[in-house]
Amino acid sequence: MIQEILKKTNRLHFGVVFLVVAISIFGFVLLYGAAGGSMYPYVIKQIPRFIIGFILMWGIAIVDIKFWYRYAYVFYILCILLLVAVYFSGHVGMGARRWLDLKIFALQPSELAKIALVMALAKFYHTRSIVAIHSLKNIFLAFTFIGAMFALVVVQPDLGTSLVLVFVGVAIMIASGLSKKLFFWMGGIGLTALPLVWSFLHGYQKKRLLVFLNPEEDPLGAGYHIMQSKIAIGSSDFWGKGFMQGTQSHLEFLPEKHTDFIFTLLTEDFGMFGALMLLLAYALLILFGTFISLKSQSLYAKYTALGATILLFLHVVINISMVMGLMPVVGIPLPFVSYGGTSMMTMLISMGFLLNAYVHRDVNLSGGSGLSSGGRF
Amino acid sequence: MPLSSANRNKIVSRRTVLLGALMALPFPVFVARMYYLQQILGAKYKKLAEQNRVSIRPIRPERGVLFDRLGKVLAKDKPAPRLVIIPEQCDDAQKVLASLQKLIPLSKRSVNDTLEKVKYRAPFTPITITKSLSFNNIAKVELNQPDLQGIDFIDIPLRHYQNGVSTGHLLGYVGRTDDYKKDKAEVKGWSPDFPVGRQGLEKLYEDELGGQPGFVHNETNAVGRPVRELERQEAKKGDDLYLTIDQDLQEFALNQLKNKVGSIVLLNAKTGGILAAVSTPSFDPNEFAEGIDPANWRELLNNSDNPLLNRSFQGTYSPGSTFKLVVAQAALEEGLVKPDEIMNCRGKIKLGNREFNCWKKHGKVDLLDAISGSCDIYFYELAKRLGVNKIANYAHKFGYGERSEIGIPEKSGLVPTTDWKYLTKHERWTTGEDLITGIGQGFLLATPLQMAVMSARIATGMEIKPVLLQKYEDVTRQAVPLEEKYLKLLRQGMFDVVNSRKGTAKNARRKGTVISGKTGTVQVISQRIEEGVDMSDVPLKRRPHGMFVGYAPYDTPQFAVAVVVENGGSGSGAAAPLAANVLKKATEIFG
């Protein structure tokens, strides 16, 4: 047993592990600065979260991939049930119903949903032949997988997470080998549906989108975040203003500097150089993820690895686009860096599944239309 | 190509590479965006960041001083020490506060509040530990200051009222405004923290007293500490104001009303300058300087004697028999009575089924007898001849029913007419109501200030208007539109009230000056309390109000006074002696 664990631990992708640890430690440094040079109140809480999440990641990685494969749908159903539970009894935080109070810790099922959706879709496409997936029934089923979760998350309301769900779902559909024509159709339908989506948005969400288009118009209201963030980034230079010397972040002009806007703090203090380093780390992580997907034997492993990578990618890109004023403000934290337990856990769990695919890259999963089995389901 | 699994593998790999390439796309965009923000727009954002770094601190202007008529200070900004802790100057705030707690009484709450602030405020900002410290405790702390790291005193200017209680209503108080935008929108640079006049003269003359705030533009470093002064404009002190009030008379009048509920208004009869205006119970405006203690505030609000009401200007009373002077003037000018016409008072008259009583059987009275003896029957008759509308016409000439021009919150009182009753109550005026208006009761309402003004107008024959600022005293007054020969008769009647054998206020005679006046006893319940009843047997709140209006000296009037003592029992017993004391004191002070 212990030998098995050691053996599998030895098979972990150490590049990924190293990058995760390195980015997280860099995050601690930034949080230390955000607190004005103090472990309190952020770092002291963030480190235990990281340790627990790290152990979780490792645990997930070495559990047999067959186990995750077998229960993929079960996790999905469980997540749906949790989301329904949240809808009826969830704790309202910051105006949205996202949290499930489990007494010991607050569970945010919409975070688990991202991973459960990846696993369920991976199994779904693993078990169906390339012909089968083009059947109307299966296309409909795939959309149901995505749509059910999207619907339950968007009513919370959590626009950011629901968009992530759609993106990651569609990405796995693309990877599954579905005909390109299908995606052109989807794109067309999606564009025509935009006005409909607009009418379903909440007032504050509409306002954010409008303010994004012209933040200078309302510099003290909804545009404040974007404006201050741009000032902070723009007023810095290549080497930055120095650790804890950033005037915007540390003089409290920048709100949420320790959570969603921590990238701004980083850029102000460490300049473009610091930002490039972090971007490089993320890019490498995404590169490793893509390679892991390519190297995996089973389709299930390929899809989960790719799904986990895309989740990471979406968080990074949405967050950084937001703070750079390239996208409206949606509450998506920066993976491993932003203060907050939920994001840290989700990202580490998701990395756990990426590593799981790598550890079990040579395993052939039976029962699917997988590559080596050749069987039809 | 057949759709085999090997083919699927190829497709999936191709798609994965495609997705990987797509994921790479945003990264160069980010780099370009950062380059754009920093290199192309950098100058603009650097400037904006710089603006973020300039802190603007408003400078509080010193408030104008309020002086009394002789230049004695009534209200002035006075430095008040506050005990503060400067976090960066001590290693362990908790320890320092603990040793401070051993030295002086400090509530656990204020210690905890302070510690909370030490955690979050910038380390160079002094944090107030307590505002109220006795002189003794200040000395104790100062003595031990070497051992108390980071503990210091800061002087904050606070409005101080030298004779708090006596001037409470008149001067009002300062405090944070409820509606800063409305009150101070035009004053550039005014900070919501600066006190503004909330009541009384402080509020009335806010524009003069408030002054112009200044400002300092500071450059701040990364932690917000001012490092360099960029620009400074000093604040401009508010204007000083000289009041007509005489502080000694004000204090004296307050003492006269000690333990009583009522008001005294003393006017300079020639100018209308208010020499004293007190209202009891009073309050200490100094309590409001830093925000009044909630318990004290509740006590002020819940006190059934309403200490916050300025009775001098806002208390409305039936003027009672003091109003008979108005009725007499009206009847004389209208030619409805001759001064020597004799009427017979049998203690009551009948009008229809209703009986109207006099407070005693006067027998045969002429005008002067009726004034000095305050005969109700005589004035019922005059009122019946006049009707309320003619009475109202004259009442206005004496200053009733209208606010003065001072601008201080004031009630207009009420002078009823037949139209007024029809409009407000949709009822016809009755002759019975004529009669009771004739003795100053019924719907009639007047403030002590109005009664004092009436007295001054009778005394001088001039159209006296009350003023509070010395600079407005030098206005030339016109004669009041009333016939002087009849006013002379009123003065004679008022002289008799105090100085004749049959007068109702013989107890108002004082050595050194000749006082004239008129008493009034105003029922507060509908039934009349019989003559000869010992007032101490009547429940306090059912006792009649005592009124007195008067002036002195008789031949060269200098001071006019009105006194109201709520539930005092009678005008002659409760009000007249106080009025006489105040008039005598004024005579002494003016020499």
Quote ipTM for the complex. 0.89
In contact, A320 and A264? CB cutoff 8 Å: no
* Interface contact B45-A250, CB threshold 8 A: no
Which of B23, B44, B49 lies closest to A248 in CB terms?
B49
Q: Which residues of B touch A252 (CB under 8 A)?
A: 224
Calculate mean pLDDT across residues B248-267: 92
Q: How confident is the model at residue A209 (pLDDT cuts 50, 70, 90)?
A: low
Q: pLDDT tens digits for B200-232?
A: 888 888 888 888 888 887 766 555 677 667 778
Instruction: Give me the mean pLDDT over the A267-280 stretch.
Output: 92
Q: What is the pLDDT of residue B48?
A: 72
Of B38, B48, B52, the CB nearest to A236: B38
- Percent of all residues in chain B with a pLDDT value above 90, rounded to a whole number: 32
pLDDT confidence of residue B456: 93
The CA-atom distances, in angstroms, between B43 and each of A219, A243, A247, A375 are 19, 21, 15, 64
Contacts with B55 from chain A: Cβ below 8 Å: none
Alpha carbon of residue B562 to chain centroid:
19
Say what the pLDDT of residue A90 is.
Answer: 60
| A369 contact B CB<8A | yes
Interface of A with B in 12-71 (CB under 8 A): 36
With H, G, I as helix, E, B as strand and everything else as coil, classify residue A29: helix
Using the predicted structure, report yes or no on whether residue B484 has a pLDDT greater than 50: yes
- pLDDT at position B517 over 50: yes
Taking residues A73-96, report their average pLDDT: 79
Q: Do A175 and B16 touch (CB under 8 A)?
A: yes
Tens of pLDDT, residue by residue over B350-375, are 888 888 888 888 889 999 889 988 89
For residue B168, is pLDDT > 80?
yes
State the average pLDDT over residues A272-277. 93
pLDDT at B51 over 70: no
Cis peptide before B553 (omega within 30 of 0): yes
Mutate to test the interface with B, among A237, A251, A298 (most CBs of B within 10 A): A251
Residue B364: what pLDDT?
Answer: 92
What dihedral angle (degrees, nearest 10) is formed by the CA atoms of A201, A204, A207, A209?
-60
Select the more confidently predicted residue: B222 or A39: A39
Helices (H), B172-217: 180-184, 200-204, 206-210
Beta bridge partners of B317: B446
Question: Which residue in this structure is represented by tokens 């009843």?
Answer: B533
pTM over 0.90: no
Q: What does the pLDDT read at residue A377?
A: 37
Looking at residue B326, its pLDDT comes to 92
Q: Are A236 and A246 in contact (CB under 8 A)?
A: yes
Chain A residues whose CB is inside 8 A of the B7 CB are 130
> What does the pLDDT read at residue A372?
42
Q: Which residues in chain B are contacts of A175 at CB distance < 8 A?
A: 12, 15-16, 19
Q: Find chain A residues with C-beta within 8 A of B118's C-beta.
A: none
Residues 222-241 of A with CB under 8 A from B: 230-238
Q: Is the pLDDT of residue B21 over 50?
A: yes
**Range A260-280 average pLDDT:** 91
Average pLDDT over residues A191-210: 75
- Amino acid A103: pLDDT: 46
Distance from CA of A52 to the nearest CA of B (A): 29
Query: Choosing among A40, A125, A231, A300, which should be mutated to test the B contact, i.e. which has the most B CBs within 10 A?
Result: A231
Predicted local distance difference test score (pLDDT) of residue A69: 94
Phi, psi at B388, each rounded to 5°: -65, -30
A245 CB neighbours in chain B (<8 A) are 222
Strands B226-233 and B545-552, sheet pairing: unpaired
For residue B335, what is the DSSP state? T
Reply yes or no on whether the pLDDT at B433 is more than 60.
yes
Is the pLDDT higher at A75 or at B196?
Answer: A75
Q: Please give the average per-residue pLDDT across B518-529, as a whole number.
A: 74
How much is the mean pLDDT over chain B?
A: 85
Cβ contact B502:B373 at 8 Å: yes
pLDDT at A369 over 60: no
Report the C-alpha gap between B258 and B280 in whole angstroms: 8
Q: Are B24 and A283 in contact (CB < 8 Å)?
A: yes
CB contact under 8 A, A251 and B222: yes
The reply to whether residue A129 touches residue B8, judged by beta carbons under 8 angstroms, is: yes
pLDDT level of residue A374 (50, 70, 90 thresholds): very low
Q: What is the pLDDT of residue B144?
A: 83
Q: Is A244 on the interface with B (CB under 8 A)?
A: yes
For residue B100, pLDDT beyond 60? yes
Nearest CA distance, B3 vs chain A (angstrom): 7
Tell whether the model's pLDDT for residue A135 goes beyond 60: yes
pLDDT at A287: 96
Partner-chain residue, chosen from A233, A251, A306, that has the shortest CB–CB distance to B52: A251
Residues of A in contact with B46 (CB under 8 A): 234-235
d(C-alpha B169, C-alpha B308), whole Å = 7
Q: What is the pLDDT of residues A145-196, one digit of tens each?
A: 999 999 998 887 777 888 899 999 999 999 998 888 888 888 888 888 878 7
A209: tokens are 């989108």
Is the minimum CB–CB distance between A267 and chain B shorter than 8 Å? yes
Average pLDDT on B556-569 reads 91
Which of A302-311, B270-279, B299-308 is least confident? B299-308
User: Which alpha helices (DSSP H) does B189-293 contain, by range?
Assistant: 200-204, 206-210, 247-256
Report whether B575 contacts B521 (CB < 8 A). no
pLDDT at A91 over 70: no
pLDDT confidence of residue A108: 81
Q: What pLDDT is recorded for position A340?
A: 85
The answer to whether the Cβ–Cβ distance between B12 and A302 falls below 8 Å is: yes
> Looking at chain B from residue 4 to 63, which residues have their Cβ under 8 Å from any Cβ of chain A?
5-9, 11-13, 15-20, 23-24, 26-27, 29-31, 33-35, 37-38, 41-42, 44-46, 48-49, 52-53
**Considering CB atoms only, which of A130, A248, A320 is closest to B52?**
A248
Position B84 scores a pLDDT of 86
- Confidence check: pLDDT of A220 > 60: no
Find chain A residues with C-beta within 8 A of B18's C-beta.
174
Q: Do the strands B516-522 and A96-101 form a parallel or antiparallel pair, or are they unpaired?
A: unpaired
Provide the pLDDT for residue A373. 40
Interchain CB distance below 8 Å, A176 and B19: no
Residues A277/A283/A284/A285 CA torsion (nearest 10 deg): 110
Lowest mean pLDDT among A24-28, A50-54, B506-510, B576-580: B506-510
Q: Which residues of A touch B42 (CB under 8 A)?
A: 234-235, 237
